[in-house]
Structure 1
Amino acid sequence: MRNRKITNTSVEVTELGFGASVIGNLYRVTPVDEAAAAVEAAWDAGVRYFDTAPHYGLGLSERRLGAALRDRPREEYVVSSKVGRLLVPNEQPRGVDSEGFVVRDDLRRQWDFSRDGVLRSIEDSLERTGLDRLDIVYLHDPDDHWRQAAEEAMPVLAELRDQGVIGAIGAGMNQSAMLARFLRETAADVVMLAGRYTLLDQSALDDVLPAAAEHGKSVVAVGVFNSGLLARERPAAGMKYDYEDAPPDLVARALAIAEVCERHGTTLPAAAIAFPFSHPSVINVTLGVRGPEQARRNAELHGRHVPEGLWDDLRLLGLIRPDVPAMSHAEDTDGERRSSRCL
């Protein structure tokens, strides 16, 4: 599994990342042994970048990820977590979390992008994971909190980075416009872009990707399956797109892309993972993982060769934007030049 460096930092991440939201019991219970096996399978496949957050399962994801990594050599992997949602006692619990995670709601989330809130959140995350440090810290969904996030949270993260406490800092969101502002107007090194640079949505070409290129910063792509519509070889009605039922026109477009993939000897999910690397600022694709089979499948899909001619045909047929860049070439840490998808 090849590494890519977050520009202007010492932090390197594998091209494929492990998204730990699912092992926080997202939508349904994931048994603890299955969560541990998922991390082990990803590790065996070469994944060394793991992303979590307090939000995921009200801390369950952080606890499980930390436990699964505890006996691994700390210098061999990178962990990111997030700030902006403090976990505080819930004075009116109803039994189960109301934000999609199947966990008890003895805690609740409290928005806080203040300096003290950021410091407290990092301390709490270190306690839950049992780790000695977080390599990357993102502001988590600051959509309605731009001023405090930009003027209080990001400066304290920059201080911690400059002191060597954190390796890299940034923000993670489902929208791209505000992420572009973080890249242009703050000390962010990297952004986590969810769902806005995929085979079905290239809106990030209008804002965050040009900003990253202009300012020499990096992008981690998540949500590349757009909630599932791109996750299967043959899309069908009833599948999800951005957390809702996919509209018929998008199902038809996904199916058309799948047919072009088949003609080029590849599959829709393999192309969905490869696609974000078409932009040179994208250094990683992180996928949610529930169990070991999914971890192995993700690695296998990432490792498939996706022909350059596929992107040419998709542009020609109007299935992706004409301004999608030609597949970039990245440089390995040993200096060897290679196609970013010729694995």
Structure 2
Amino acid sequence: MKTRRIGQTGLEVSEVSFGAAALGGLYRACPREQAMETLSAAWDAGIRYFDVAPWYGLGLGERHVGDFLRGKPETEWVLSTKVGRLLRPVPTGTVPDYSYVDPLSFDADYDYSYDGIMRSVEFSYARLGLNRIDILYVHDLGGYTHGAERNAVHLRHFLDSGIRALEELKSSGAIKAFGLGVNEVPVCIDVMTNADIDCILLAGRYTLLDRTAVAELLPLCRRKGTSLVVGGVFNSGILATGPVPGSHFDYMPANDDVLAKVGQMEAVASKHGVPLAAPALQFALRDPLVSSVLIGTARASSLERNMKLLSPAIADSIFPEFDNFTLVAPPLGAEAVRV
């Protein structure tokens, strides 16, 4: 698989990457054997960049990914995980419902400070069982997760000291790049106004349907040399399933406006003889600012099906036909499960 560079670093990642949220049991259990089968399918498809987080299954996702990569040549894979939440043990059966099924017996506390980020990295090494993390993303800063008042506190902690932890880790060679892992644009602007970052893992805001990132964030990234890793390309499923009953957008049932627009997009795709999921997956990769497109699943069959959507390449001339049906800045559901 082709690779692209992260920001202005020397780090190259595969154009398609694997997101491990589902391996943490998001919405349905993911036993170890199933996780290994899915990761093997990703590897066999040429994916060499794997993204995980302590949040995914409250440590379970990191354990699965670490177990898998430990048996692979160290020079062939790239790994990112996230900071911003510290896990602490809780009694069995008392884990709050975060939409993860059969998670490990931990809860999470937010900490974006220097000490919190350094502790998070050490804990991730232990859960992964690996001695290398290539990229660190600051997870879920922003008003959607915390509300405006609380986010102001977290943002101050990060800019006052947390960013220094990431800079030290990079300058020491412990990591090769760092950035944000979020579902929203405003916090990206806030951070980039005050600090330089290598990359942003942005979910759901630069897709065939949702172009929220286009007006302000993309030009800023181009000026500052910051790459995007784009997640949520199917916007919680609706760009893969189409506007069928029960389809979801931003982790919630799609409203009538979204259903109508996706129906019109589906008609465009059908006219050109392709499933809507194909242009949805290929859309962001048309932009050289995008280093990788992240796909996530807990089933090998789903992974293999999605990889087939990358070929053949859809002609650039088709994509403008979708532009009249986009949502520019839709609200994110208050109870959304973050990437």
Mapping of residues 82-121 of structure 1, within 5 Å: 82-90=82-90, 94-104=93-103, 106-121=105-120
**Counterpart for residue 57 of structure 1:** 57
> 2:114–2:158: 8 Å Cα contact kept in structure 1?
no
Percent of aligned pairs sharing the same letter: 39
Retained in 1: the 8 A contact 2:24–2:103?
A: no
- Corresponding residue SS for 1:214: helix
Residues in 2 aligned to 1:303 and 1:33: alpha-carbon distance in whole angstroms: 29
- Mapped to 1, the partners of 2:107 and 2:117 lie a distance apart of 17
Task: Check the 8 A contact 1:264/1:307 in 2, yes or no.
Answer: no
Give the equivalent residue in structure 2 for 1:337: none
Change (3 A) 1:253 1:321: closer
Residue 304 of structure 1 is matched in structure 2 by 312
2:18 is the counterpart of 1:18:
yes
2:116 and 2:26 map into 1 onto residues whose CA distance is 25
| 1:181 aligned residue | 190
**Deviation of the 1:105 alpha carbon:** 6.0
Alignment partner, residue 158 of structure 1: 167
Q: Residue type matched to 1:102 in 2?
A: V
Residue aligning to 2:325: 319
- Matched residue, 1:123: 122
Matched with 1:287 is 295
The aligned runs of 1:232-251 (5 Å cut-off) are: 232=241, 234-251=242-259
**Match of 2:325, as an amino acid?**
L
Q: What secondary structure is seen at the aligned counterpart in 2 of 1:231?
A: helix
Does 2:145 align with 1:146?
A: no
Tell whether the 8 Å contact from 2:177 to 2:198 is kept in structure 1 after alignment.
yes
How far is 1:303 from its partner? 3.1
* C-alpha separation in 2, matches of 1:89 and 1:172: 24
Equivalents in 2 of 1:105, 1:129: separation in Å? Answer: 14
Q: Contact 1:34–1:291 at 8 Å: present in 2 too?
A: yes
Residue aligned with 1:203, SS: coil
Contact between 2:67 and 2:128, CA under 8 Å: does it hold in 1? yes
**Alpha-carbon contact 2:88-2:107 (below 8 Å) kept:** yes
Amino acid at match of 2:109: Q
Q: TM (normalized to structure 2)?
A: 0.90
Q: Deviations over 1:136-157 (max 9, x none)?
A: 0000001122111222212210
Decide whether the 8 Å contact of 1:26 with 1:101 is kept in 2: yes
1:194 Cα deviation after fit: 1.0
Q: Deviation of residue 236 (structure 1)? A: 1.1
Displacement over 6 Å in runs of 4+: none
Distance 1:76 1:105 in 2: 29
Residue deviations 1:152-179, cap 9 Å, x none? 2122101111111101000111111111
CA RMSD of aligned residues (A): 1.6
Aligned partners of 2:54 and 2:81 also within 8 Å: yes
In 1: Cα distance, 2:51 partner to 2:103 partner: 22
Distance 1:5 1:172 in 2: 18
Instruction: Name the amino acid aligned to 2:217.
Output: V
Please list the CA deviations of residues 43-85 of structure 1 after superposition, one character each: whole Å capped at 9, or x if unmatched. Answer: 0000001000000001000001111111100110100000000
Which runs of no fewer than 5 residues in structure 1 stay unpaired?
Answer: 323-343
AA of the residue aligned to 1:132: N
The one-letter code of the counterpart of 1:86 is L
Cα offset for 1:235? 2.5
The two structures have a TM-score, normalised by structure 1, of: 0.89
Q: Alpha-carbon deviation of 1:104?
A: 4.8
Pairwise CA distance, 1:184 = 3.6
Residue 271 of structure 1 is aligned with which of 247, 255, 279?
A: 279
Could you tell me which runs of 5 or more consecutive residues in structure 2 were left unpaired when the two chains were aligned.
Answer: 143-150, 329-339
Between 1:218-227 and 1:272-281, the stretch displaced more is 272-281
Q: What residue number does 1:168 align with?
A: 177
C-alpha contact 2:230 2:293 (8 A) present in aligned 1: yes
Paired residues in the alignment total: 318
* Native 8 Å contact 1:16 1:302 kept in 2: no
Residues of 2 paired with 1:201 and 1:155: CA distance?
33
Q: Distance in 1 between matches of 2:172 and 2:284?
A: 32
Question: In 1, Cα distance between the equivalents of 2:292 and 2:104?
Answer: 33
1:260 maps to what in 2?
Answer: 268
Report the residue type matching 2:273 in the other structure.
G
With over 3 angstroms needed to count, the CA separation of the structure-2 counterparts of 1:304 and 1:284, relative to structure 1, is: same
Displacement of 1:310 in angstroms is 1.2
Contact 2:62 2:124 in 1 (8 A): yes
Partner Cα distance (1:223, 1:104) in 2: 22
